[in-house]
Amino acid sequence: MTPLTTEKLSPTVGVQVIGADCERLLSDATMPGWCLDALEANGVLLFRDLHIDDPAQVAFSSRLGRLEMLGHGEHPEIFVVTLDPAKNRAAAYLRGTFDWHIDGMTEDIPIMASLLSARAVAETGGETEFASAYAAYDDLSGDEKERFADVRVVHTFEAAQRLSNPDPSPDELAMWRRRAPKVHPLVWTHVSGRRSLVLSATASHVEGMDLEASRAFLGELLIRATAPERVYRHTWQVGDLVIWDNRGVLHRACPYRADSSREMHRTTLYGDEPIR
């Protein structure tokens, strides 16, 4: 079998995988290990013109790890990403994905990775942007690395939702607050030994720091981590499959019209590593 090759998509995050088709993703015994290693090394893997269908996406994703069941259709492993409430009951919450975030920050263990396949793309907007949280840490000065070692950040669902809905109704607020806050260290020392910065729209404030100072501090770090030269912006084509490592990559969707036909099918791999 021809060896798989990769081409860099940006200096710090993402590669395109050349030489894999659906058949190979499902049958090549070396594929899962190769993909997981490439994901750890590069943060984002892009497969162009794959045109994977739901059964194949579920089968391939299952080779990489254990799948969350977030969908409602024939394949509960598939979550349909769309702003159309007829296709996804949680469509309104997806506006929260327009801000930089890491998925699952209010859970005990964030998800490991997600796979997103493009079934219909937006006429304008709707790109997905990625930035390396490892590079964000590596880029800190020695002094900052020392000062940030013990910083702990409170994450709430409310903080993320407020960015896109700053004036919620009492019902919305009550619903947001049903999800308990979660405290994570700012610096994640992974089992691998690598370190990353845990920055996300869910970051409400730093423990022991007031809200305004927290916002300024976290906001500045986010601006540095997601400076344009550190970002890979993926412009979707129908048939694309993208995998990203949720543990070491920040992501966000670029806004698109609420009546857009954009439709992504997502599978999600459970994580097994708490943030510490």
Catalog residues that contact Fe ion under the rule CB under 5 A.
97, 103
Nearer to Fe ion, 188 or 217 (CB): 188
* Shorter beta-carbon distance to Fe ion: residue 75 or 95: 95
CB of 88 to Fe ion, least distance (A): 14
Of 111 and 173, CB closest to Fe ion: 111
The Cα-based distances of 32 to 40, 49, 148 in angstroms read: 12, 19, 35
Least CB distance to Fe ion at residue 276 (A) = 22
Find the shortest distance in angstroms from Cβ 75 to Fe ion.
20
Residue owning tokens 């994703």 = 61
CB closer to Fe ion out of 103 and 245: 103
Q: Pick the closer one to Fe ion by CB: 54 or 103.
A: 103
Which residues share a beta bridge with 45? 15, 243
Residue 95, judged by CB atoms within 10 A of its CB (0-12, 13-18, 19+), counts as middle
Write down the least CB distance from residue 226 to Fe ion, Å. 14
Buried b (16+ CB within 10 A) or exposed e, 44-78: bbbbeebbbebebbbbbbebbbebbeebeeebebb
| Residue in the shown chain whose Cβ atom is closest to Fe ion | 103
Distance of closest approach, residue 246 Cβ to Fe ion, in angstroms: 8
What contacts 176, CB < 8 A, 6 or more positions away?
A: 156, 157, 158, 161, 168
What's the closest the beta carbon of residue 244 comes to Fe ion, in angstroms? 9
- Complex with Fe ion: residue 31 or 202, whichever CB lies closer: 202
| Cα torsion 29, 33, 36, 37: sign | negative
Pure H helices in 49-208 = 54-64, 133-138, 142-148, 157-164, 170-177
